[in-house]
Chains A and B, each alone.
Chain A
């Protein structure tokens, strides 16, 4: 054994996971080569930083997470200097200087300074009570705050933030997580998995605010709460800042080493100075900075190989994340952004709360996101790292290793079902085994419905319908030809519109990702047909609670104007019952001139349509129209369009009732209501029917003795004259029945189905029964309509004119050539020059 004095001197800056692991790896290869000194900024021996979460959660003590105790340092003749960090490196003299002035010489120096928590630069960031989540000191601070209970805010919905939130929740605090992005852990999870995680955490008592931008931390002398950019204030006695980490490169920078985002190292972890190495979260290798443990270990191995003269070289790491937050299993690996040539394979098991998505490109697994069941994460990660060709097992890949490894025969879904054991559970909701289903089929249940009636399999959530169909086919052979006649909503699902709506109500599904999970959607985020439909169904089912998803709206409803073939918009302000006045007309004339609208036209619904408005001018146009008292005319919406009227008894010598007055009342009552499709009304003052009420969705014909109510008319491609629904004596009755009718249509018609085909489909008798004869249910329908209306009569134009959703109307930026120099460009954005 070499005497310590004759060994090379190795100084390690950083007593963390990377620094100590590197030392362990070196000792394992050549224990006698170096005399080692380790500097640590913290007072502790080396501990497992990723286990701080269980310490916070009370599942482990500090002693449990120590990696190397003092004996290890002594046994290996390592000098440990704690609480005295290195403050300078002198590369000429090959020495380091500590805070307390200690100067020590080195032959090789290893920088393992790790990373620092990133503090967002908001007012109040320095208030007492603002804590990061990086080391034992932070954990101690959180524990002492939690001891007195109260509210905590965690800023950052990434891995670290969620672990902090979980720990604080277990310690009895009421926790709100504020996350800037729309999806939790967006770097590790896709939208669907992020949503599942969010809803699970919410059921565990945390409040999760996504898309939430912190404006300030407020408080007098200490933290009292967090204010968001949208004005919301969340009280808190502590704020945990967990938005991310940043490589700690200060020492390296001061020493003049090459740095980028981290300290530049080569494949052997050598920096731009051959005597200095660096490893861990503080380095940048081949353009990448790592924040996970697995790459650290790989780096340490390469480093140790290099400094003990058996260079192997680090080739970068493919990382995966597997974690458990509040008992929730999450796994992700590789690229799940769905890039070039990528195909998604999605499996959702609603009853078990499982979401699996494997991304395949060129017959190779390139990414995976698993939620709820992460058992096969390691297998997918293995396939990914090895780049194995998975074409042979592609169809069974998503079912996991045990299934796919069976190979050929199991790939056919029918064969897969055949391979299930007799006691395998087919229907999770009703606990029906394969043997029971097969028994029912053999006993004569030869259709899906018959199976559902006899053993309840697939009778609840329906997500095992495919399995039951396969069992029918398997048991009956060629006699079973399939039977699902109801058209599915779109290619993303095997459910029909009606089934989806029924499940939304029965299962209490409240958000689009929840519907997609519960009803086992085959795509991660739906398509352009199902998303607007789901958005409407949820809006209709949960008035006042459902938050409209702008990205699931067709362009016209998102922009609150009608897109034209040249990409400009047309704007139709509401004119109640077709009435107008000089103020409104002047305002419209002014808008036409001010915004250079090339055309104004009187519409078929008795309105004025202003054409050729640019999307960036829309909010200003609306502000001008609002100022004259006009609101959105919804000429763009699957909503109440117009109530067309004739002049009625007030002027017309044939008029029997005040048709304009009733028209205005109807329009005031029904505007703003979202429907399955556009909805038009009209009121004619006599049977001459000048308002063309008999080709409207709901038409009123006034007669001497009262009002005839007509439904289901259409003047479109196929002209359909209305059916007479009933006759009533008063305006109040007419409005009441209209409300019940509209609500029945809203609740039961399929998205994009006008009243005419809907009534043809369900029959006039059915509608009459529901909104005329069955008065109890009619009143309930009407009551539900008015509840919905109480949330829908805010003018969307006014909100936009005041600045809501500004990004929809503004360009991200503009490239402008500088005058006189075509090769130069400045990029302007609404926020100013950006380059």
Chain B
């Protein structure tokens, strides 16, 4: 069995492949879409690609500072916590990640999702 099969962290892709102030998604093993956001400050965050309001695809929103504005109804979600900002209430699950040599890694358990 190669080292690859026991790797705890899985490589999701390169930071450089996400546009600055933009996002890309990865479909997890259970079909869940996870959005990877890259801020102007070159920080990467992973959240479920689903607004707590009406499940809008957050990856398609405008990224500003460390927030994203949902493309459906303009809820503003804090990328750091997943919490809705301002008067809105709700929270999108965040996924812990680490960066290794410009690559984005998430835990195997998170990548396997509910299918694990």
Contacts and interface: CB of A to CB of B under 8 A. Distances in A.
B62 A528 contact: yes
Contacts of A340: 80
A191 B20 CA distance: 9
A823 B20 CA distance: 33
B56 to A, nearest CB: 7
Interface string B32-75: 00001001111100000000001111001111111001011010
A120 to B, nearest CB: 13
A551 interface: yes
A829 B42 CA distance: 22
Contact of B25 (A186, A551, A812): A812
Contacts, number: 139
Contact of A551 (B19, B27, B66): B19
Interface in A537-570: 550-556, 558-559, 563, 565, 567
A389 interface: no
B90 interface: no
Contacts of B72: 563, 565
Given A567-B57, A834-B13, A825 B40 contact: no
Interface in A321-367: 336-342, 344
Given A812-B17, A834-B13, A338 B41 contact: yes
Contacts of A527: 64-65, 69
Nearest to A558: B60
Interface string A117-161: 000000000000000000000000000000000000000000000
Contacts of A190: 40-41
Contact of A812 (B12, B76, B116): B12
Max chain B C-beta neighbours (<10 A), residue from A344, A563, A814: A814
Interface in A177-194: 180-183, 186, 190-191
Interface stretch (A99-107, A305-313, A518-526, A591-599): A518-526
Contacts of A563: 57, 60, 71-72
A824 interface: yes
A827 B22 CA distance: 21
Contacts of A344: 65
A339 B80 contact: yes
Contacts of A567: 55-57, 60
Contacts of A834: 11, 13
Contact of B62 (A336, A339, A554, A810): A554
A815 interface: yes
B65 A525 contact: yes
B13 A531 contact: no
Interface residues of A, number: 52
A523 B64 contact: yes
A203 interface: no
A807 B20 contact: no
Contact of A825 (B10, B20, B43, B57): B10
A815 B65 contact: no
A811 B19 contact: no
A525 B43 CA distance: 14
Contacts of B19: 182, 550-551, 807
B71 A554 contact: yes
Contacts of B113: 815
Interface string B60-98: 111111100101101010001000000000000000000
Contact of B20 (A182, A337, A815, A824): A182
Max chain A C-beta neighbours (<10 A), residue from B22, B39, B60: B60
B48 to A, nearest CB: 13
Given A337-B41, A342-B66, A811-B25, A528 B61 contact: yes
A835 interface: yes
A807 B62 contact: no
A483 B84 CA distance: 33
Interface in A783-835: 807, 810-817, 822-825, 827, 829, 834-835
Interface in A380-432: none
A752 to B, nearest CB: 12
Contacts of A637: none
Contact of B12 (A186, A191, A827): A827
Contacts of A554: 62, 71
Contacts of B20: 182-183, 191, 551
Nearest to B76: A528
A548 to B, nearest CB: 13
Contacts of A815: 10, 26-29, 111-113
Given A183-B20, A827-B10, A339 B63 contact: no
Max chain B C-beta neighbours (<10 A), residue from A532, A559, A815, A827: A815
Contacts of A553: 62
Nearest to A814: B27
Max chain B C-beta neighbours (<10 A), residue from A341, A558, A813: A813
A211 to B, nearest CB: 9
Contacts of A342: 66
Nearest to B112: A825
A825 B60 CA distance: 27
A811 B39 contact: no
Contacts of A822: 112, 115-116
Contact of A827 (B11, B55, B57): B11
Given A344-B65, A563-B71, A814 B43 contact: no
A477 to B, nearest CB: 35
A167 B111 CA distance: 48
Contacts of A810: 24
Contact of A525 (B5, B21, B76): B21
B83 to A, nearest CB: 12
Contact of B40 (A191, A532, A555): A191
B22 to A, nearest CB: 5
Given A528-B62, A817-B115, A825 B22 contact: no
A554 to B, nearest CB: 7
Contacts of A523: 64-65
B41 to A, nearest CB: 4
A812 B42 contact: no
A337 B29 contact: no
A262 to B, nearest CB: 13
Nearest to A810: B24
A552 B57 CA distance: 17
A186 B42 contact: yes
Contacts of B112: 815, 817, 822-823, 825
Contact of B24 (A341, A556, A812): A812
A67 to B, nearest CB: 33
A378 to B, nearest CB: 23
Nearest to B73: A565
Nearest to A550: B19
Max chain A C-beta neighbours (<10 A), residue from B24, B26, B62, B112: B62
B74 to A, nearest CB: 7
Nearest to A805: B19
8 contacts: A337-B39, A338-B41, A338-B65, A525-B65, A554-B62, A807-B18, A815-B111, A827-B10
Given A807-B24, A816-B29, 16 more contacts: A186-B42, A337-B41, A338-B43, A339-B43, A344-B65, A524-B40, A525-B65, A527-B69, A551-B21, A556-B71, A558-B60, A813-B13, A814-B27, A815-B26, A815-B28, A822-B116
Interface of A: 180-183, 186, 190-191, 336-342, 344, 523-528, 531-532, 550-556, 558-559, 563, 565, 567, 807, 810-817, 822-825, 827, 829, 834-835
Interface of B: 4-5, 7, 10-13, 16-22, 24-29, 36, 39-43, 54-57, 60-66, 69, 71-72, 74, 76, 80, 108, 111-113, 115-116
Q: Which 5 A-B pairs give the minimum distances between C-beta atoms?
A: A528-B69, A555-B71, A812-B24, A337-B43, A337-B41
